[in-house]
């Protein structure tokens, strides 16, 4: 039986909801390595059909990761950790933040307005879900 060559990959932490801010839906993409030379590592994008790319081999092997291309994808030699999604603050926590930001309690008008907007947006989300 023939030995199958082990496929190597470059990994990318990808946020499927990149425009939603820190509450994104993270996934690890594996881009198969197609060729290695002394200066470059060539790979095929797993999300781009037959698109190919390359990275500087010394940089990625020296740092474990590298920014690649005009899209500034961060490619890794090993699968990166998926970050925990931050927990949304409760309405009571947002209300307390709003109270703490009030100018009568030492906050600023701008901070109070921003805290109130966060509170009202969360309240609207909660009311819309019910």
Report how far residue 112's alpha carbon sits from residue 94's, in angstroms, rounded to the nearest whole number.
Answer: 11
How high is the pLDDT of residue 69?
79
Per-residue pLDDT 10s for the chain (130 aa) are 444 457 799 999 887 665 555 556 788 899 999 999 999 999 998 876 678 899 999 999 999 999 987 768 899 999 998 877 667 788 899 999 999 999 998 888 998 999 999 899 888 888 876 6
How high is the pLDDT of residue 126?
81
Identify the burial level of 30 via C-beta atoms within 10 angstroms of its C-beta, where 0-12 means exposed, 13-18 middle and 19 or more buried: middle
How high is the pLDDT of residue 17?
64
Which residues have a Cβ under 8 Å from the Cβ of 31 and sit 6 or more positions away?
9, 10, 11, 12, 43, 44, 45, 46, 53, 75
Number of Cβ atoms within 10 Å of the Cβ of 52: 12
How high is the pLDDT of residue 34?
92
Residue indicated by tokens 């990625």: 60
């Amino acid at each position: 039986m023939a030995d199958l060559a082990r496929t190597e990959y470059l990994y990318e932490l990808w946020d499927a909801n990149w425009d939603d801010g820190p509450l994104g839906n993270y996934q690890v993409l594996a881009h198969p390595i197609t060729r290695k030379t002394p200066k470059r590592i060539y790979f095929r994008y797993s999300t781009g059909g037959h698109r190919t790319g390359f990275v500087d081999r010394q940089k990625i092997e020296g740092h474990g990761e590298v920014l690649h291309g005009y899209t500034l994808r961060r490619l890794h030699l090993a699968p990166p950790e998926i970050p925990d999604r931050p927990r949304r603050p409760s309405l009571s926590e947002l209300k307390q933040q709003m109270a703490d930001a009030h100018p009568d309690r030492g906050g600023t008008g701008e901070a109070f307005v921003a805290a109130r907007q966060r509170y009202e947006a969360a309240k609207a989300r909660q009311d819309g879900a019910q």
